[in-house]
Each structure stands twice: as C-alpha cells, then as structure tokens.
Amino acid sequence: MSPAAAFRRFALVAALAFIGQPAAAQVPFGQATAVKEGLEIGTSTSEIGIASDFRGADLTIFGALTNADELLLAIGQYDVVVTLEGPLDYATVRKKSRVLGIWVNTESMTFEQVPASYSVAATRQIDDILSSEGGLPIGTDHMRLSPTGYVGNAGNLTEFRDAYRRLKLAGGLYQHDFGGVRFVSSSLFRASLRLPANVPDGVHMVRAYLFKSGTLLAERELPLRVNKTGIEQQITDAAHNQPILYGILCVMIALVTGWGASLMFRKK
Amino acid sequence: MTVYLPIAELSVNIFIILGMGAAVGFLSGMFGVGGGFLITPLLIFYNIPPVVAVATGANQVVASSVSGAITHFRRGTLDIKLGTVLLVGGLLGATAGIWVFSWLRSIGQLDLFIAILYVLLLGTVGTLMLNESVRAMRRAARQEQVTLKRPGHHSWVHRLPFKMRFKKSKIYLSAIPVVALGFAIGVLTSVMGVGGGFIMVPAMIYLLRIPTNVVVGTSLFQIIFVTAYTTMVQAATNYSVDIVLATILMVAGVIGAQYGVRVGQKLRGEQLRALLALLVLAVALRLAVTLVVTPADLYSVSVGSF
C-alpha cells in the first residue's frame, strides 16, 4: 500500500472517530478540558522487507490528536515528536592517543542497551519542545547513554557520549529531522522518518509523543519489524547460523576456483 | 557497479575489487608468491575492516596456492612426509593465532596489531630481498661467478633430537625445527591472512637446508591446508570470512596469475626479486604512515561490549 493510500484510509478512520465525539471539540477556549488530549498513530506497514538493492527509505507515520483544543492547535501550542528506535545492543566507544609515536586505542567506554539505529522527527527543534520537561530521554541529545562498569571522571563521560552521538550521526544510523512532523489538517499529522541503508534488522519501535506547551501529554508506540531479505541476508544468516558449513563452502569455492583456472588455462 | 559485501557490511565498487584481485593475482603469478601479504593490506586501504580482510585474505590464498601445489605434486617435487610434519605445527600455530586474534579483537587492539606486524614483517623481508637482489644484479653486471652456499652444512638445527628421515627430500632432520617453523607460519596465517610462503621458503632453504627442488611444492602443500583450516576457524569463531568478497578476489586472482606467470618467465630472477622487494617496501611504508599520521577522528565506535 502506498503511503498516500494509507494516509487516505487513516484520515477517513480518524475523521469518523471525531464525528463520534463532538463534545470535546466544542469546549470553549479557556475552560479546563475535562477530557485529556490523546494521540493515535498508524504506520503504512508493520513490517518492512529490505531487499538486496536497498539504499535507505522513508517510513511515513500518520497520527491524529484527539480532544485537542482548536485554538491551542491554531497557535501551534501542540508539538509532536516521533522516533524510530532500532534494536538495543551494547556499544563501545574507543579513543586513540599517541603512544611512542603511534596512534593506539587507549581509552574505551561501553554503553549498555543503546539503540543500534535511531531516527527522530519533530514539529520543531527538539530542545525548544522539551524546554520545560527535564530528563526526558527523547532525541539524540537526550537519549540514555549509561556506561557499564566504573567511570573515573564525569568529564570523560560527557566526552565519550558526545563522541558516540557524533559518530552515529555521521554514520547515518542516527538521524534527526526537526520539521519532519507536519500537521496536514488541524489535528492530523504526518511524520516521515528516514531508514538508513545500513538499518539493522530486528524489531524497531515507533514512538510518538504529544506535548502541549512543553509538557508531555501522551505517548504511543508501535512495533515495526525490519526483515532483510535477499541473497545478502541469507549469506549473513548462513555465516552466523551454520558457520562450519559456511567455512567449508568458502574453502570449496577456493579449491574449485584455483583448480579450475589451472585446468582452463592448460587446455589453451 | 556496486556490490554489497554481507560480512564486511559495506558496498564496494565491484570493478575495484576485481582490479585488486587481478593485479595481486598477476603479481603473485609473476613472483611465484601467494599474494596474501598484498591482498590483506590492499583491502584494509580500501576500508574493509581488518578482521574481514585477514580472514578473507586467508581464503584467497587457498585458491592461489592450489594450482601450484597440483603441479608440484604431479612433478614429484612435493615431500608429503615433510609437508605433514610442517602441517602439524601449522595447524597448532593457526589455532593459537586465532585465539590471539579473538583476544586482541576483544580489547580493541586488533587493527593496530595487524598493522604493526605487517610493517615489521614486510619491512624486514623487503629490505633483505632488495639487498640480496641488488647484490645479485651487481655480480651479474661484473660477470662474476655466483657462489651459492651449498646446502648440507650442519648447524645447531641439525643437532636437535627426534630426528626423522625424509626420503623425498633426502635429508635426516629433527622434527622440532620443522614443527616450530610450521607453528610460526600458522600463527602468521591466522593473524595476518597470509600463506607465509615468503618466509617459509627462505627458512626451509637457509635454516633447515632442505633441497631447493622440493621446497616450493612442500610449502604450498602446507599453505593450502593451513589457510583452509584458518578460513574455517575464522568463519566459526569470528564470522569474518566474506564469501562474496573472497569469490570476486579469487576469480580475478587466478586469472591474473596465469598472465603473471607468462610475464615472469621473460624477466630475470634478480630483477624480479628487486621489483617484488620494492613493492613489499611500498606496502610497509604506506601502513607505517597510517600508524603515525594523526587520524581524522580519534574516536571509533563498535557494536557490542567488546
């Protein structure tokens, strides 16, 4: 299903949902809203198959605010942040320094359970949105990076965290797009997140956060399975699941190639 | 045209890899070497992770050594018994080497270790070879008689116990230095991704005094089994053999080698050795530069807790 078709269907469902609850939309400005604002999201697909020629793709996420205050919406007091978090794993950052004239990895720090990939889109700069909300681990600058083991001094920690973010952003596995979430009507929004070419396979998590004037109101999440298909993935799987057979195959190819070439060129 | 390497996890230009394989194949055919000591650094220069470059290099050497070994076997210039004793040491060495390899990888010093080892080994071998070939060329220019040291001189190596008779080589030699040599070469195979012929052949001739006619065939016999074993163990422990990369390199390499052999036959031995020495020194120098020059980024990140 194309993103546009998915969006039309989603818009229809969302529109029907609003018809069912007219009371909320009619709350006059200034009065306390009895019903809390909510957030619904949907993706065009819950599973992405990545073929051999994959060079990265955009994932479109649709969402709707429920019980939103029309006036606050109109003056842009609502903000939406959407993230796509890859599978969690440990990551080690190493730092080189000169030892006897040679550059050697001398220091290292391992972070526990950090996402292998991370894309974030928002209605505007994430620091502006989060200004009043301290300690939320949203966005590349604020995500949790807890080191394993003993960390000597705090300066080191900041240094290694910064290096980690910088390297991941430079490598394309971490991305942010401030302005990547757009309201397409007063309460419907559309977010596009970039899947990098080297996106890891596994279960990713789409998370959407709704903020009103800097306060987190609602949060939704949806799993997204990324499956690599194609010959490359089969090779990677074979290398990890049947390493002995894989090794034997590598050796066989070498023997056949070497022997075959000597036969071919002798006949000439 | 780009091709994705599933184990190295990056896309490369297939023509560059084909060119690399053909060029190294050509040189290995021309000089009669396996080419592992050239292919591994070249792959590293082309941003292939050293872990993958070393394991895939060992796999490539299997292909480039097979046809040579078959030829020597047919001609009868292969001492199976001597080769088997070497092989025992080689398999032990390769196993120890893989262990060291995995350990260095876990502490993040593998890339550095590989680079230093290459600089030392290629630097030493290149210098010795250049020295020798320049002297040979001078002798040829002065039309002097070449006085080869006759094999058969006894040294401390020949006083060691556990002597064995190697009928094909017509020598009576202790198994200890043979196993030790095989062990050292096995370590180099698994840590550097080389066959090790460029060290084994001179060591067999000058150290063990094995007759020259069986040396190349016997070393190739040992190299095939040790590199094949290393490929399998690397695949099983480090998952670092890239079958796509290896296949492209091998196909280009064995074809390039056939043409290299033809050109090699037209060139003089000492000129050939001088050229090879210069090439080896150039690779060593290029690797030495990367060790010393300030890297673009002092930090690096790797997945996992090692």
| DSSP structure string for B252-275 | HHHHHHHHHHHHHHHS-HHHHHHH
**B70·A262 Cβ contact <8 A:** yes
Size of interface A-B (CB pairs under 8 A): 160
pLDDT over threshold 90, residue A179: no
- Closest residue in A to B69 (Cα) is A259
Q: How far apart are CA B104 and CA A253, in angstroms?
A: 29
Contacts of B127 (CB under 8 A, 6+ apart): B277, B281
The one-character DSSP state at B79 is -
Whole-angstrom Cα distance, residue A66 to residue A9? 17
Mean pLDDT of B207-215: 84
Asked if residue A18 has pLDDT above 50, the reply is no
Three-point CA angle A194, A195, A196, nearest 5° = 105
- Do A147 and A263 fall into the same domain? no
What pLDDT is attached to residue B76?
Answer: 82
Q: How far apart are CA A61 and CA A146, in angstroms?
A: 29
Q: Which residue in A250, A252, A262, A267 has the most chain B C-beta atoms within 10 A of its own C-beta, making it the best mutation to test that interface?
A: A250
Q: Do the bridges between strand A88-99 and strand A202-212 make them parallel or antiparallel, or are there none, so unpaired?
A: unpaired
In this structure, the answer to whether residues A187 and A242 fall within a common structural domain is: no
What digits encode the pLDDT tens for the residues A89-126? 889 899 888 988 889 988 888 888 899 899 999 888 87
Q: In Å, how far is A130's CA from the nearest CA of chain B?
A: 28
What is the nearest CA distance from A129 to chain B, expressed in angstroms? 30
Asked whether the beta carbons of B213 and B206 are under 8 A apart, the reply is no
SS3 B50: helix
Contact residues, chain A, for B303 at CB < 8 Å: 89-92, 116
B236 contacts in chain A (CB < 8 Å) = 243-244, 247
Tokens of residue A254, six digits: 């070498």
Identity of the residue numbered A250 = C
Q: What is the pLDDT of residues B32-54, one digit of tens each?
A: 778 888 899 999 989 899 999 99
The Cα–Cα gap between B296 and B275 comes to: 33
Which chain B residues are Cβ-neighbours of A261 within 8 angstroms? 67, 254-255, 257-258
**Four-CA torsion B66, B101, B105, B6, nearest 10 degrees:** 20
Q: A40 with A122, same domain?
A: yes
Contact flag B303-A116 (C-beta cutoff 8 Å): yes
Which residues of chain B does A88 touch, with a Cβ-Cβ cutoff of 8 Å? none
- B66 or A230, which is more confident: B66
Residues of B within 8 A of A56 (CB-CB) are none
Q: Count of domains in chain A? A: 2
Asked if A78 and A16 sit in the same domain, the reply is: yes
Q: Are residues A205 and A99 in the same domain?
A: yes
Question: Are residues A249 and A164 both part of a single domain?
Answer: no
A221 plus A236 within the same structural domain: no
What is the interface pTM, i.e. ipTM, of the complex?
Answer: 0.85
B4 CB neighbours in chain A (<8 A) are 52, 232
Q: Write down the pLDDT at residue A20.
A: 38
Q: For the packed helices B36-45 and B175-192, what is the interaxial angle rounded to 10 degrees?
A: 20
Give the residue-averaged pLDDT of A225-254. 88
C-alpha–C-alpha distance, residues B35 and B253, integer Å: 9
- Partners of B29 on chain A (C-beta within 8 Å) are none
Contact list, A250 vs chain B (CB under 8 Å) = 59, 231-232, 235, 241, 243, 246
Rounded to the nearest angstrom, the minimum Cα separation between A208 and chain B is 26
More confident residue, B230 or A149: B230
User: Same domain for A89 and A219?
Assistant: yes
- Name which of A105, A110, A265 is nearest B305 (Cβ-Cβ): A110
Q: Looking at chain A, which residue has its C-alpha nearest residue B65?
A: A258
**CA distance linking residue B21 with residue B15, whole number of Å:** 10
Query: Which residue from A95, A253, A261 is facing B299, i.e. has the nearest CB?
Result: A95
Residues 6+ apart with CB under 8 A from B9: A198
Q: How confident is the model at residue B123 (pLDDT cuts 50, 70, 90)?
A: very high
Q: Are A197 and A260 part of one and the same domain? A: no
Tell me what pLDDT residue B149 has.
Answer: 52
**Rounded CA separation B39/B85 (Å):** 28
Q: Is A58 within 8 Å of A192 (Cβ atoms)? A: yes
Q: Which residues of B123-151 are buried (b: 16+ CB within 10 A; e: fewer)?
A: bebbeebbeebeebbeeeeeeeeeeeeee
Quote the pLDDT of residue B153: 54
- Res. B165: pLDDT tops 90: no
Residue A30 pLDDT class (50, 70, 90 cuts): very low
Looking at the fold, whether A212 and A241 belong to one and the same domain comes out as no
* A94 CA: distance to closest CA in chain B (Å): 5
Q: How far is A243 from chain B (nearest CA, A)?
A: 5
Do A223 and A235 sit in the same domain of this protein? Answer: no
State the CATH number of the domain containing residue A38: 2.60.40.2550
- Domain of A264 in residue numbering reads as 230-268
**Is the per-residue pLDDT at B147 higher than 80?**
no
The pLDDT mean for chain A works out to 80
Do A185 and A254 sit in the same domain of this protein?
A: no
Name which of B2, B4, B72 to mutate to probe chain A: the one with the most chain A Cβ atoms within 10 A of its Cβ: B4
Q: Give the residue from B61, B62, B52 showing the smallest Cα distance to B110.
A: B52
Residues 6+ apart with CB under 8 A from B218: B72, B78, B79, B82, B83, B86, B169, B204, B210
